[in-house]
Amino acid sequence: MNMTEDAVGRQGRVTCVVERSQSANAYGNPDLWALATPALVGLMEMASMDALDGLLQVGERSVGSVVEVEHRAPTPVGARVDVVARIDEVDGRKVWFSVTASDQSGTVAAGRHARVVVDDARFRARLAELDAGLRSSRG
């Protein structure tokens, strides 16, 4: 990783219209047609990766490691949600973001997120090793 403190302040963004597949109903909360917190966290991760676009070296990728989010208000299915991630700190391989989500009524969520920059080949090799272990234990 060749990222410096110059990355601090850089922002990433994801904007989408909330779909039924992102609803609390789809995540097991019956008949609740609002953006589910797990789907919101996924959007925050996507916005954070967008902020890192062009900063990682060839052969690197980032993986999520910390999520602290307060989901303050509902966003109904069909409404537009805008998620912004801002790089706040680069601490070795760990990159910290402030994340916010807003819709037509204002801010609906805020928090922070950390991603760790890893060597992609080594990460995939470890994942394959774990997967092989699971397969052999299932017999």
The total domain count for the chain is 1
- pTM of this prediction? 0.92
Please say whether the beta carbons of 1 and 117 come within 8 A. Answer: yes
- The amino acid present at 98, given as its one-letter code, is S
Average pLDDT over residues 104-112: 98
Residue 120 — pLDDT band, cuts 50, 70, 90? Answer: very high
For residue 92, name the pLDDT band (cuts at 50, 70, 90). very high
CATH number for 73:
3.10.129.10
Backbone angles phi, psi at 101, to 5 degrees: -130, 140
Please say if the pLDDT value at position 98 is more than 80: yes
Here the tokens at position 53 are: 């676009």
1-47 pLDDT tens trace: 567 678 999 999 999 999 999 999 999 999 999 999 999 999 999 99
Residue 99 and residue 111 in contact, taking contact as beta carbons nearer than 8 Å: yes
Once rounded to an integer, what is the mean pLDDT over residues 103-121? 97
Stretch 85-108: mean pLDDT: 97
Angle of CA points 102, 107, 113, to nearest 5°: 80
Q: Which domain holds residue 51?
A: 5-138
Q: Mean pLDDT throughout 99-125?
A: 97
- How do residues 44-78 score in pLDDT, each as one tens digit? 999 999 999 999 999 999 999 999 999 999 999 99
| Banded pLDDT at 139 (limits 50, 70, 90) | low
